[in-house]
Amino acid sequence: MQNCFSYDSTEPEFVQPDYRKWEAVQVGMSRDEVVALLGPPLEDPYRADANCSYGHLQMPMLPERRTYVFLIGYDENERVFRKTDPFMGKLSLDGTPSIPEIIIPISRTAFSHYPRILDCRWYPSSGEYPITYTIEESWASPLEPEKFDKPVELDTQIPIPFYMFNFGGSQPGRIRVKARNRLGESEWSEYCYFSFAIQK
């Protein structure tokens, strides 16, 4: 397990299994086979279900503790029937951050609300933690919606896979995100396109 401790807490913020061993766990394996690979599951006071925890990303400012977890579920025969991780199975085996994938807004969404608050979320990057994110935006004229201006970095030290900002105008826009840790940084995510229009 990989641990990272906060300066003001003795509880690990980021606990992850060895990615290669985690990848080796398959649906249908017995509990004994999983324990032989990963060791015994963690005691997790935030879990009220029967899933076994093998790690978590306890990020600051999240509305729910332990939102991002490594879980294994067993059926009545003590066989794996579910395995979930925070990265949708996209693991960085060298520790450098994987490329973020934007979840919301859904690309090509047209908005008409005002003020033009944009809530942006993405799957967290896998790799060695802590990881921070950079988000950039660019915009286009309504008369030339495919011609975007030079991008602007809105923030370069985002500690969680969330960001909210006030978009500048009634026009097309796009965002993208990249991740960084002590080992390096990811490539940029794919662009997410959106537009704002004046309410009628």
Quote the pLDDT of residue 45.
84
pLDDT beneath 70, residues of the chain: 1-12, 63, 199-200
Which secondary structure element, helix H or strand E, spans residue 24, and what is its range? Answer: helix 19-24
Quote the pLDDT of residue 10.
45
User: What are the pLDDT digits (tens) for 81-114?
Assistant: 999 999 999 999 999 999 999 999 999 999 999 9
Residue 139 in tokens: 């915009």
Exposed e or buried b per residue across 107-120, where buried means at least 16 C-beta atoms within 10 angstroms of its C-beta: eeeebeeeebebeb
DSSP class of 79:
B
Quote the pLDDT of residue 61.
73
Q: What are phi and psi of 21, to 5 degrees?
A: -70, -40
Quote the pLDDT of residue 199.
66
Quote the pLDDT of residue 170.
93
Quote the pLDDT of residue 49.
80
Cα separation of 17 and 23, whole Å? 10
